[in-house]
Every structure is written in C-alpha cells, then in structure tokens.
Amino acid sequence: MAIERHIEAFLESMAAERGAARNTIVAYQADLADFAATCAARGANPAQADAGLVADYLAGLAGQGLSARTQARRLSSLRQFQRFLLREGQRTDDPTALSVGPRLPATLPRFLSEAEVDALLATAATIPGAPGRVARAGLEILYGSGMRVSELLALPASALSTDAILLLIKGKGGRERIVPLSAVARDAASALRAAHPKGARFLFPGRSRGTAMTRQGFALLLKRVALQAEIDPARLSPHVLRHSFASHLLARGADLRSLQKLLGHADISTTQIYTHILAERLQRLVETHHPLARFVPAKPPGD
C-alpha cells in the first residue's frame, strides 16, 4: 500500500535526519498504524486525510478512555507525519494544523534527595563482583554528569580512560555536548574497564563482548541497589538520576542556561520543568538575605 511506503519513508527520515531512538521510531510506527486502521475503516487514505477525519480520530481516542498523554502523543506522531508529507510535496496542506491536543496535567520531575543518592553509592560499593562494578560506575557517571542512559550505555570501552575532566558525547539528534567528569567517576570506570572481557567494545558490555548492556539490564541492576539501600525501587530509574543531577545543581546555585547545556536540551523550555527548584532556592535566598525578611516588628506598648 502507498501509505506503508509513506510511513516507511517518514520513519527512515526520523532515524537518519533527526537521530530518533529505536523506541521513538517504534512508537511512531504504532501510532501511525492506529491512524491508518481508522482511515481504512472509512475507506480513506491517511496520506490524504482531511481536517475533519483527523478531528474525528482524535475525538475517538478520547472516547476510548485513553489517557491525555497517550492522546497527545498520537497527535504529535500524526502531526509530524503530515508535516513530513507536506515537506516532501506529497500534499499541499497540513490537516493537523488546527488540531488541539488535550490539556496535560502538570507534573514535576521525580528526583532523589542527596542523602538517598549517597546511600545508593555507598550500597553499590558493597556489592561484590561485576554487578557492583557496573552499578558503582553507572551511578557515579549518571548522577555526576546528567547523562541519559542511552548515552551512558553507548560509551566506548576507552571512555573515561584519561585524566580529562570533560567528556564529549553525542546525544539526541546527533547533537554533541560536553559533560563533566569527577575523579570518582573516572576511578569507577577504570575499575570496570580493568575487569572487561577481552575485546569488549563498550564501557558497559553486554552478554557478548561486542554488544552494550541493555537498558533493561541496567535498570534491573539499579532496582537491586535500591532494595539493598532500603529505597523504594519504584522511585529509582536512570532518568530519576538525571533529574536528581539537575535538581541538586539548581538547588546549589546553578542557572537554567548552564543546566540546559549540561543536559543537552535543544530548547530552554524543556529545562524549565525544574523551575520549581529554582523558585525554592530564590525564596530561601530572599528569606536569608533580604533586610525585610529578617525584620522582626517590635511589640506594641502594653503587650
């Protein structure tokens, strides 16, 4: 079918030009397949869908009881696909241009306290063998640099092998950025590398020497560390460590622009999910240093 070729071309474009991750590509494919099925039931071609069909489709998602986030993701996938067709000259309009997604509930990033991170690091250091080396190096690097887990697991075996305090990594969309490296993180990486199987290509090797550790395998190891540290494992994930890195930096005086660069966000609006931390810090700053905040009114006469 022609739509299959259009979808395939769109997915190839997302992978090649924007560096979309495999999970992202799979999600786009599933979302567009759902829209294509709806169009087929009406005898319509998704590549030529009009605004009315798009509106009916979105209303149907709400009628199915899908969450606001799922509805918003489906609309985003459909919008990007239709705009791809527009850019490629496959159509002359964008039927999603006036579509409005559902209002998403405001959510704050989940992060651990500094004491909880310390407990995780201390616990990882007590785990014997390869699991302990992987857990310690992973925790030190993720929390110390704010890397994404995909960036961490893609590190080559030679990464962190020098005394350099900065590391150049390639993130989403092929964008490069520099992240800091602590001496502790370099030491943990060195201990991990010293125990590598011969011919390992990645700093965090998988079951076979030529592959990297899977995200699932690393996440399961983190859950084990959390349990031993007496922290609810449901509260810990690689992304929670990234949020913890960002939140603790802001709480200790970092600014949003610097944090944006460290996290590799293309747009400052993405970094602004942490503004609640910034607001709390500024409030403490005013309470501590502003003269009126320290002013205690005198008791009126007779009291």
CA atoms within 13 A on the CB side of 252: 9
Active site residues: 148, 172, 239, 242, 265, 274
Burial readout 40-59 (b: 16 or more C-beta within 10 A, e: otherwise): eeeeeebbebeeebbeebbe
